[in-house]
Structure 1
Amino acid sequence: MQMTVVAIVNPIAGAGTNRQLLNRMLQLARLAGIEIDYRVTRRPGSARRMAAELSAGPKEAGSVRAVMAVGGDGTVREVADGLAGGPLSLMVWPTGTENLFAKSFRFQARPESAIDCLLRGQTRLIDLGQANGRSFLIVAGTGFDAEVVHRLVGMRTGHITHLTYSAPLWRTFWEHRFPRFRVYDQQTLLWNGQGLVFVGNLPRYSLGLRVIRDAICDDGLLDLCILPCRGRLRLIQHCVRTLLRTHVEHGGVLYRRLRSIRIESDDSVPVELDGEAAGRLPLEVSVRPGALRVLVPPGVTKL
C-alpha cells in the first residue's frame, strides 16, 4: 500500500516563503513513493475540522501515515485538537514565528528531514492540555502575556514576525494592571493574589524563555507556575530570572504538577492558548494523558 501523508497548510503563517522548499519535498516524496495530499485552510477552525474528518474516516485512516501541519503553533494546535484521541499521527512542517512545538521535537522545514521522518520516524504518545474545552500543546497563559496576544489579534494583517509583537508588547508593558487571581486544585485554594499564571505541557515558551521549566509532555500531568508580580520592576526581574532558568527557586514562586487547575478573577482577564487568543477567565484546565500521537523524527528519544 502506498504511503499517504495529508498536509494541512495555513497559507498565512509564512508558508508562502517556504514554497520552494515545499515543492522540493513534494518531489522527494514522489521519488520515495509517498503521496502528499495537500489541503489549504481558509479560515480559523479549518485545520481542526480537516484533521477531525480525517481522524474519523476509517478508510482513509488505514492508509495515512501522518497528518502534517504546515504552519505555526496555532495551526499545529488546531490539527492536534482534531486528531486527539484518534488513530492518526501528527507531524509538523514549521512556518510560523516561534514554532515552539516543532523546536521541542526537532521538526525542521527541510525536505530531506521531512522525508526521513516519514520513512524512519517513530510514533510517540503525548499528553494534551484542555482549557475550557479547547486543546493546547504548549501553554495556557492568563494576564500579561495573554493581553499581549489579544492586542496583537486586533493588529494582525498577515504573517506574524517577532517585530509584529513590539507594539502590543510595549503598550501592555505600560498599561497592564496586574489583576488578582484565585487558583485552585479542585477545591483547594493554591493562590490568591497578583501574579503571572502559566499552565504548561512543554517547557519552551516565547523568546527562548522556559517559564514552565520542568514540564514533561508524557507524564500525565500539567505544570503550574505562578510568578508573584504587582508591577513592571518585578516583571523585568522575573524575565531575567526566567532567562537564567532560576525563577523556580526564587522565593514566592509557586510551581506544582497537577491534573486539573481552575483559575478565576474578579476582573475581565484575557487567556491565551499556544499564543492564540482564547477568551477570558474563568478557566478550567485539565490534562488528557496520551491523547495525541506524534510522528517524531529519528533520534528523538527524550520528550
Structure 2
Amino acid sequence: MRRALVVANPVAGRGRGLAAAQAVVAGLERHGVAATLHLTRGRGDGAARVAAPADEDVVVAVGGDGTLREVLAGLPPRDVPIGVVPAGTANVLALDLALPRDPARAVDVILAGRTTALDTGRVNGHLCFLVTGVGLDGEVVRAIDRRRRGPITRWHYAAALVRLLPRYRPARLSVEVDGEAHQPGCVSVLISNSVRYAGIFRLSAERRLDDGRFEVYLFGGRGRAALLGGALRGLLGRLPGGACTLRRARRVRVSADVPVAVQVDGDPGGTTPVEFEVAERRYRVLVP
C-alpha cells in the first residue's frame, strides 16, 4: 500500500470527523503511506472527489453512513478496498462489522488489508448499502431533513417520531418480491443489508453481506399499533416475528394508492413507487 485517499466529513460527530481524519492521515504517513485528505463541503462533494481519476491503493471514509455512501457511489469500477472510520451518528455498517472508532486502531485495520465483500442495491436508480424504508421511517427522515441545521443525533430521530406518530396514518402498500405479489396489508417495508437498523433496532442476525440478496421485512397489521409493535420487537431483537415476516430477494417493488415517503440509508428517497434491485457490483470493505 503506497497511496491513500481519505474522504472525511469534518462536522460529523460534532467535529470528531476532522480530528479523526487528521489522525488517520498522520498514522498512515508514519507507516510510509502517502495520504491525501479531502474534507467534504456539502452533499455530493465526496462522491465527486472519489470519482476523479486517481491511483490510490485504498479509499478511506471518515464520518457517518452518509460519507461512506458517497464514497461507494463515487468509486470508479476499480477493485479498490474501502476503509471505514466511524465518526457519525449511527455508523450502522461499522457497528455490524465491529470497526474501531479509535483512529490508531482504524489505521491498523487499513494496513492489515483484510476485506469482506459488500453487496449494494439500486433504489430508483440510486445506491443503497444499508436499508431502504417505506412508510413511517421515511416520514421521520424527511421531517429531520427539512428541519436540519448542522449535525444530527439519535435524539433528532426520537423527537421527529414523537411529533409524527400521533397524526400518522399508514397507507396500505402493495409489494412484489422477486416478481411474486405479497399478501396485501403491509403498512411498512424495510429492504435491508444490515443488522443494526439506525444503530438502535436489531434485525435478523442471519443476514449475509455478500449473498446477492437483501432481507425484506414486511410489516402487517393495522394502524399505529402495528408500527409500535414492530418497533418494540426491533428494540428487543425479535424481528421477524409477530406481524412482521421476512423474505430474501434480489428485486422488490413497492407501490401505494397515495405517495408514501421513502428513506435510503438515512437520507430522503422521495416517495413510492419504489423499484429496488441488488446491483451486480460488490465492494471490498476493510475489516478487523
Q: Counterpart in 2 of 1:300?
A: none
The secondary structure found in structure 2 opposite 1:248 is coil
Q: What is the Cα deviation at residue 213 of structure 1?
A: 4.6
SS in structure 2 at match of 1:249 = coil
Q: Distance in 1 between matches of 2:48 and 2:20?
A: 26
State which drifts further: 208-217 or 2-11. 208-217
Q: 1:82 to 1:50 in 2, by over 3 A?
A: same
Offset of residue 166 of structure 1: 3.1
Q: Equivalent residues in 2 for 1:242-281 (5 A)?
A: 242-250=234-242, 252-281=243-272
Q: Confirm or deny: 8 A CA contact 1:262 1:284 kept in the other structure.
A: yes
Matched positions, count: 288
> What RMSD in Å do the two structures reach over aligned CA positions?
2.0
Work out which of the residue numbers 197, 206, 210 in structure 1 matches 2:198. Answer: 206
Q: Which residue of 2 aligns with 1:301?
A: none
Quote the offset at 1:7 in angstroms.
Answer: 0.9
Per-residue deviation, 1:154: 0.8
Does the 8 A contact of 1:85 with 1:292 survive in 2?
A: no
CA contact 2:84–2:285 (8 Å) conserved in 1 = no
| Distance 1:68-1:162 versus aligned 2 partners, 3 A rule | same
For 1:131, the aligned partner's letter is: V
Percent of aligned pairs with the same amino acid = 32
Unaligned residue ranges in structure 1 (runs of 5+): 298-303
Q: Deviations over 1:93-132 (max 9, x none)?
A: 1111111011122222312212211221313322111111
Mean Cα deviation higher: 140-149 or 164-173: 164-173
Aligned to 1:47: 46
Correspondence 1:197 to 2:196 = no
| Cα distance in 2, alignment partners of residues 22 and 41 from structure 1 | 11
Q: Does the 8 Å contact 1:184/1:191 carry over to 2?
A: no
Q: Which amino acid aligns with 1:91?
A: G
The answer (yes or no) to whether the contact 1:76–1:92 under 8 Å persists in 2 is yes
Q: Summarize the Cα distance change of 1:84–1:218 in structure 2 as closer, same or farther, 3 Å threshold.
A: farther
For the Cα contact (< 8 Å) 1:81–1:135, is it kept in 2? yes
Question: Gapped runs of 5+ residues in structure 2?
Answer: none
- Relative to structure 1, is the Cα distance of residues 69 and 18 closer, same or farther in structure 2, using a 3 angstrom cutoff? closer
Which of 102, 106, 113 aligns to 1:110? It is: 102
Q: Which of the numbers 172, 181, 190 marks the counterpart of 2:173?
A: 181
Q: What is the match of residue 8 of structure 1? A: 7
- TM-score using structure 1 length: 0.88
Q: Structure 2: how far apart are the matches of 1:88 and 1:163?
A: 35
Q: Which residue of 2 aligns with 1:31?
A: 30
